[in-house]
């Protein structure tokens, strides 16, 4: 059972030094109990208290990583029921199902298409995350061969769906890095637990009921296996959705550790209709799937799921931002124009893609205004002459250009006079209001050299 704020407070130094960023030990204890602070924030807590408090400081849902290296996927470690309360942290994984009874050449084509369906959207890469290989043939060698084939075709982490003996054979033959082993049940718990330990891999748990889930995860935890993923075993949209909500509540609201693991769902096994499969995956993306296994991730369906996932897992309280700085576009020189705008991601990507599309070289200065768009940032007193001048003076732009002309967005034309006063020696040029007019502007604009 999780500790209360008062339990935690008793273990703290009670000096109210504020080094944790919170004024008092009591306030820190309350925040820690609510999952809003981390024990590492207090540098004065004793080792003994640390050990005692580890339960309280652990997230109510464990984070589990599948795979290794560049393509590793972390799921879970969520802190809130609703996105508007804070944010959702680790986007759920989308996995393509491959059965070892499928034709090898067709599987190669499916994997090539999956790899190809990778998109860039507002600075993020959207793609599938895993491949689930299922031992439908019942033959261990056929399964091993398919695992090898999938590994040769795509670098994504795997979910290995087979009995313990077939998984062991595939792991020995192909050696995928930390795949998710699927699945431990009441009937095979010891064998699957042994495998998970042997390969240091995360393990899926498939109970027959909620009560059995608590029993199995508690037992596995006692065996030292912490990286668990829950499959409630239901295969209808309604039941799966109910279980996802129920286990999330038990983990986050009731702080019940046996339920504090991410989940795996199987839209692929819930419907034969490809379109409905996408709908099921969309519902679980919204609430609260950790992994979704689908048999069809063709581009038109996959893209809709990728964008939905990206939007759900964007912090609603924090606009998407790019880093402040000077960005070269189309190999600019010391004579190229210098434009500035704000660090709202959408603004940056719209402006930079218009500059890029114009084929005209330019320097794009991005001012940190807490991720607001141009007009909103100006209205909020953030995209203002003092801040813009401070950015220009601190940047290395004068090492890159030999003129002193800066182009500001047309929407903030009213600041040009004041900016000229702040930026002594600079010429302020008012650019277009709309990004779509940037290419025509750049083609006719030449910064004046001193």
Give φ, ψ of 301 to 5 degrees: -85, -45
Q: How far is the CB of 27 from ligand SF4 (least distance, A)?
A: 8
326, 364 in Cβ contact below 8 A?
A: yes
Q: State which residue, 57 or 347, has the beta carbon closest to ligand SF4.
A: 57
Q: How far is the CB of 6 from ligand SF4 (least distance, A)?
A: 14
> DSSP character for 44?
T
Q: Which residues contact 210 (CB under 8 A, 6 or more apart)?
A: 232, 243, 246, 247
Q: How far is the CB of 89 from ligand SF4 (least distance, A)?
A: 24
Q: How far is the CB of 84 from ligand SF4 (least distance, A)?
A: 28
Q: Which of 251, 224, 219, 292 is nearest to 61 (CA)?
A: 251
The structure tokens listed for 276 are 């409905």
Q: State which residue, 15 or 414, has the beta carbon closest to ligand SF4.
A: 15
Q: State which residue, 33 or 132, has the beta carbon closest to ligand SF4.
A: 33
Q: State which residue, 19 or 239, has the beta carbon closest to ligand SF4.
A: 19
284, 265 in Cβ contact below 8 A?
A: yes
408, 321 in Cβ contact below 8 A?
A: no
Alpha-carbon span 179 to 188, nearest angstrom = 18
Q: How far is the CB of 58 from ligand SF4 (least distance, A)?
A: 18
Q: Which of 204, 257, 197 is nearest to 223 (CA)?
A: 197
Estimate to the nearest angstrom the gap between the alpha carbon of 147 and the chain centroid. 27
Q: State which residue, 12 or 438, has the beta carbon closest to ligand SF4.
A: 12
Q: How far is the CB of 333 from ligand SF4 (least distance, A)?
A: 52
Residues lying near ligand SF4 in the complex (CB under 6 A): 12-13, 15-20, 22, 25, 28, 42, 44
Q: State which residue, 14 or 402, has the beta carbon closest to ligand SF4.
A: 14
362, 429 in Cβ contact below 8 A?
A: no
């Amino acid at each position: 059972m999780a500790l209360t704020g008062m339990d935690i407070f008793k273990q703290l130094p009670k000096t109210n030094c504020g080094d944790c960023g919170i004024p008092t030990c009591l306030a820190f204890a309350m925040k820690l109990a609510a999952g809003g602070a981390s024990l590492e924030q207090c540098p004065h807590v004793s080792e003994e208290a640390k050990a005692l408090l580890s339960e309280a400081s652990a997230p109510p849902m464990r984070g589990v990583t599948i795979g290794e290296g560049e393509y590793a996927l972390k799921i879970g470690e969520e802190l809130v029921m609703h996105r508007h309360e804070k944010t959702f942290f680790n986007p759920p994984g989308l996995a393509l199902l491959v059965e070892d009874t499928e034709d090898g050449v067709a599987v190669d084509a499916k994997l090539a298409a999956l790899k190809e369906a990778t998109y860039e959207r507002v600075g993020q890469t959207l793609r599938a995350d895993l491949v689930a290989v299922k031992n439908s043939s019942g033959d261990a060698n056929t399964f091993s061969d398919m695992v090898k084939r999938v590994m040769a075709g795509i670098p994504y982490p795997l979910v290995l769906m087979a009995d313990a003996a077939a998984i062991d054979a595939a792991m020995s033959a192909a050696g995928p890095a930390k795949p998710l082993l699927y699945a431990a049940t009441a009937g095979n718990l010891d064998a699957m637990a042994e495998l998970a330990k042997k390969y240091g891999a995360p393990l899926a748990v498939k109970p027959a009921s909620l009560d059995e889930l608590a029993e199995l995860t508690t037992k596995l935890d006692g065996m030292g296996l912490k990286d668990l993923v829950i499959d409630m075993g239901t295969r209808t949209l309604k039941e799966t959705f109910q279980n996802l909500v129920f286990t999330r509540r038990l983990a986050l609201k009731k702080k019940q550790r046996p339920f504090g693991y991410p989940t795996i769902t199987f839209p692929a096994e819930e419907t034969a209709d490809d379109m409905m499969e996408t709908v099921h995956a969309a519902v679980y993306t919204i609430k609260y799937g950790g992994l979704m296994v689908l048999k069809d991730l063709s581009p038109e369906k996959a893209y809709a799921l990728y964008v939905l996932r990206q939007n759900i897992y964007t912090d609603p309280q924090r606009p998407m931002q790019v880093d402040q700085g000077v960005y070269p576009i189309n190999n600019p020189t010391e004579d190229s124009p210098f434009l500035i705008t704000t660090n709202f991601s959408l603004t940056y990507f719209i402006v930079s893609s218009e500059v890029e599309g114009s084929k005209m070289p330019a320097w794009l200065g991005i001012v940190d205004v807490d991720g607001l768009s141009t007009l909103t940032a100006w209205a909020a007193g953030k995209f203002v002459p003092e801040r813009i001048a401070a950015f220009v003076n601190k940047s290395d732009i004068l090492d890159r250009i030999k003129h002193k002309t800066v182009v500001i967005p047309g929407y903030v034309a009213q600041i040009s006079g004041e900016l000229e006063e702040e930026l002594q020696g600079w010429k302020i040029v008012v650019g277009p209001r709309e990004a779509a007019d940037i290419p025509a502007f750049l083609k006719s604009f030449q910064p004046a050299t001193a």
